[in-house]
Amino acid sequence: MATPHAEFQQPSELQGRRVLICRPEPEASRLAEAFRKAGADARVMPMMAREPLPETPEQRGILQQLDNFSHIIAVSPYAARRLMEEIDHWWPQLPAGLQWYGVGAGTAAVFREHGLKPRMPAEGWTSEALLALPSLQRVDGEKVLLARGEHGRELIRETLAQRGARITTLPLYRRVLPYYSAKQVKALVADFHPEVVIALSGETLNNLVELGHRYQLALTPDIIVVPAERVAEQARALGFRKPLVPGSLNDDDLVISVASCLSQEAGDNG
């Protein structure tokens, strides 16, 4: 459960710890500030940047017929923000009767900012958790709009199609690997030598490993924080010793999860 900000107690276990945050901006800098408040030496090296895709006639047609859909799903907070930006161009007032979905709490929060009442998993923030919602079990013949990046995981689309839904995928942005010079990578990996790395997607993790291979630098943190067990397995296969799946992706909860893991390691070693 997320800790209310006013009651958040900074964990002492992070004092002086080196934390490298590989999330996209602006999330990376925001999370880095949360770790710094807890005493960590936090630095950012986003392993993914997001670029809005130009509007196409197909996209315009989909958005103009928004009221024909029964279910609207966004796979991330950024996807939800981009979707609402595009919808605002065509719908001064949102059509009634639509069911809105966020894969996690952050995505649902974006929809709530627009006065919507989205559905989201009671626990978890994965595609699997979303697909377990009762309202997405019997969707035979119903139209579903899936807002996401240009290339994304296919589980939601494939599963709902198997359940008989008529899926329309709406790509709204592309993900790219930012450029880093050899000097920048050396400073943030070899010289900084992070004890904790935050990599909250499989693509982020792969990009990080690829960059290390490109510059022949090994990344060996004590802890690598990943969003789900599926990505934890991926991390283990890539040679990371201790992947950590946190209890929540909320900034304060991420700080607490990392501090708790470091404290446990210290106790085990003691």
Query: Residue 257: in which H helix or E strand, if any?
Result: helix 251-269
Question: In angstroms, rounded to a whole number, what is the distance separating the alpha carbons of residues 75 and 96?
Answer: 21
Question: In angstroms, rounded to a whole number, what is the distance separating the alpha carbons of residues 189 and 127?
Answer: 31
Q: Do domains 11-48+179-269 and 51-175 have the same CATH topology?
A: yes
* Encoded tokens for 50: 């997001």
Which residues fall within 8 angstroms of residue 45, CB to CB, at 6 or more apart?
Answer: 20, 21, 22, 180, 184, 188
pLDDT given at position 266:
58
pLDDT given at position 3:
43
pLDDT given at position 124:
72
pLDDT given at position 225:
96
- Phi-psi region at 193: left, alpha or beta (left = phi > 0; alpha = psi -120 to 50): left
The DSSP result for 233-253, as a single string, is HHHHHTT-S-EE--S--SHHH
The residue among 191, 189, 198 whose CA lies nearest residue 35 is 198
Instruction: Show me where the domains of the chain are located.
Output: 11-48+179-269, 51-175
**Secondary-structure class of domain 11-48+179-269 per CATH:** alpha beta
Burial label, 7 (beta-carbon count in 10 A; 0-12, 13-18, 19+): exposed
Which residues fall within 8 angstroms of residue 130, CB to CB, at 6 or more apart?
Answer: 73, 101, 103, 120, 121, 136, 156
Residue 81's identity, in one-letter code, is R
Would you say 141 and 162 are in contact if contact means Cβ atoms under 8 Å apart?
no
The pLDDT profile of the chain, 270 residues, written as one tens digit per residue, is 344 444 445 556 899 999 999 999 989 999 999 999 999 999 999 999 999 999 899 999 999 999 999 999 999 889 999 999 999 988 988 888 899 999 888 899 999 999 999 999 877 778 888 999 999 999 999 999 999 988 777 899 999 999 999 999 999 999 988 999 999 999 999 999 999 999 998 899 999 999 988 988 888 888 999 998 989 999 999 989 889 999 888 899 899 999 998 888 755 555
Q: Specify the pTM.
A: 0.81
Residue with tokens 């969003």: 227
Output the CATH code of domain 51-175.
3.40.50.10090
pLDDT given at position 11:
54
Question: In angstroms, rounded to a whole number, what is the distance separating the alpha carbons of residues 32 and 28?
Answer: 6
